[in-house]
Amino acid sequence: MRRLVVDVRPGDHSVVRLPADAPVPPGLLDAPGFVSVTRTPDELSIVCPTGHAPESADTQSGWRLLTVRGPLAFTLTGIMAALSGELAAAGVTLFALSTFDTDHLLVKEGDLGRATRALAAAGHEITNP
C-alpha cells in the first residue's frame, strides 16, 4: 500500500438517518465544511457538521472526519480496505464515505488518537490543518 496523507478535519460531525421520503433539509447543502447526503430506498442519510444537523431521533454525534488527501485516481485499489483494516486492527469503529476525488473516514471523537496513531504506525502521514 502506498503512503497516504490523511488530514484530520476540525469540528464535530453527526450522522443522521431520516425517512426515505424526507426532503433534504433546507440550507443543508449551504453549510460550510463536509456535507454528504445519500438517499436509498430505505433512508435519507446525512453526514454534516453537528451544528447543522437536522433534528432526528436517529442521530449519532461525536464523529471526527479524516480525509485522504486527493484526488485519487479511480484506478487505485485497496485504499479504503487498507485504512479500514488498520483501524479495525486498532479496535476503532468507523463510518466510511467516498467522493469523486477521495475517501473519507469518520471515527468517534474518543477514538481519534488511537485512529491517528494506528494510521501513522502503518506509514501514513497524519496532518491536523
5-127 CATH? 3.30.2130.10
The H or E element that residue 70 is part of is none
Dihedral angle computed from the Cα positions of residues 118, 121, 125 and 128, in that order, rounded to the nearest 10 degrees: 50
| Percent of the chain residues topping a pLDDT of 90 | 89
The H or E element that residue 61 is part of is strand 59-68
pTM of the model: 0.93
Q: How far apart are the C-alpha atoms of 44 and 16, rounded to whole Å?
A: 8
The answer to whether 37 and 100 have CB atoms below 8 angstroms apart is no
Q: What are the pLDDT digits (tens) for 25-36?
A: 999 999 999 999
Mean pLDDT of the chain: 95
Average pLDDT, integer, range 57-81? 94
Band the pLDDT of 73: cuts 50, 70, 90.
confident
